[in-house]
Amino acid sequence: MPAAVPFRDLRYVRIATDDLAEPSGFAAETLGLQPSGATDGRAFFRSDARAYSVCFSTADETDAVALTVATDDDLASMSERLTSFGIAVKALDDADCAARSIKKGIACRAPNGIAVEFVWRPLASGWRYHGPRDAGIVEFSSVALATTDVAADEDFWTRIVGLSVSDWAGDAVFLRLDDAHHRIALYPSQQNGLLGIDFAVEGINNVMQNFYFFQGQQLPVVHGPGRQPTSGKAFVTTRGPRDLLYTFSTGMDRGPDLDGRVPRQFPAEAGSHCAWGSPTTQPEFLGNTL
């Protein structure tokens, strides 16, 4: 069995939708993402140097997250590795790759049903990101996944895909693939699939400005302003189309210190999801055993 391969980044998230207008308006006007084209039932949005980090799709596809590999060989190794664990792997054809702005890729399913795509040579943009409003976004930071069987998903992402656990909060798992505390977070839930998307912003000023922006727009503040005791990031979260959670955050722990550190276990309680005590009714952030 080939060893797990190193990943370069969490590349993009694709979100299935019935129509493009509502999520596109939300992405641009509320989140401040930069529209970067719409073709064949897909609308693309930029948050950083990537050609896109968010794709809304009406093309009858499932929600997906993508990880970038370094080489063509890594793609082959990963395909073989997944197959050896009995996971069905599909090579993306030319049309699939063109639609994703990648050179080459493979796709499989995580236990919670989300599509996981491993991609090689995803397109970057030579033009810097410039959103329609100054939300302070610097990077597509992480995704939160909901799962009814967190053990199965943790096993998939760690033992099979090869990510590292940074910390646990109750049974919620924070998974690392580069020098950041987490790029993928798994939350025990009564639902399966994509829970939310997190964009890093420049600093605490942007988190708080976005908090007041949400209030001014009469958008729900689902969680925060708060600070994750696990990752250290200050955050504020609202709810968008399809009830997905959208977060602006800053100050996530990152750096070589995280490597080799023993993952910490935080208690299964709301205080493990916010050190400031911000109120939330979102069950995944209450820490209760579900």
Partner 1 sequence: MIDLKDVVYCRLGTRDLDGAEWFAVNILGLEVAERQRGAVHFKSDDRYHTLCYFEGDPDDQVTAFEVAGASELQAAAATLEDLGHRVHAGTPEECTSRHVRDFIRFSDPTGNAIELVVRPEHSGRRYHGTRDAGITGFSHVGLYTTDPARDEKFWTTVCNARVSDRIGEAPLMRLGAIHHSIALFPSNRSGIQHINHQVAATDDIQRSLNMLREQQVNITFGPGRHPTSSAQFLYFSGPDGLTYEYSTGVCEIHDEPLWRDRQFPFEPTGFCQWGSKPNIPAFQD
Task: Specify the residue, 38 or 275, whose C-beta has the smaller distance to partner 1.
Answer: 275
Element (H, E) at 207: helix 204-216
Applying CB under 8 A, which of residues 33, 66, 160, 234 lies at the interface with partner 1?
234
- The separation between the first and the last C-alpha atoms of the chain, rounded to the nearest angstrom, is 35
Helix H segments across 57-142? 72-84, 94-100
Measure the CA–CA gap between 268 and 288, rounded to whole angstroms.
6
21 binds partner 1 (CB under 8 A): no
The residue written with tokens 């922006």 in the block is 213
- Any idea of the CA torsion for 77, 82, 85, 88, to the nearest 10 degrees? -140
Shortest distance in whole angstroms from residue 208 CB to partner 1: 4
Q: Please give the backbone phi and psi of residue 92, each rounded to the nearest 5 degrees, phi first.
A: -75, 130
126 binds partner 1 (CB under 8 A): no
Applying CB under 8 A, which of residues 21, 40, 49, 212 lies at the interface with partner 1?
212
98 binds partner 1 (CB under 8 A): no
Shortest distance in whole angstroms from residue 277 CB to partner 1: 4
In eight-state DSSP terms, residue 33 is P
Task: Specify the residue, 259 or 269, whose C-beta has the smaller distance to partner 1.
Answer: 269
Task: Specify the residue, 127 or 276, whose C-beta has the smaller distance to partner 1.
Answer: 276
271 binds partner 1 (CB under 8 A): no
Site string (191-210) toward partner 1, x via CB under 8 A: -------------xx--xx-
279 binds partner 1 (CB under 8 A): yes
Measure the CA–CA gap between 234 and 236, rounded to whole angstroms.
7
**Under a CB-based contact definition with an 8 Å cutoff, are residues 87 and 108 in contact?**
yes
Q: What is the contact surface with partner 1 in residues (CB under 8 A)?
A: 204-205, 208-209, 211-213, 216, 225-227, 234, 275-279
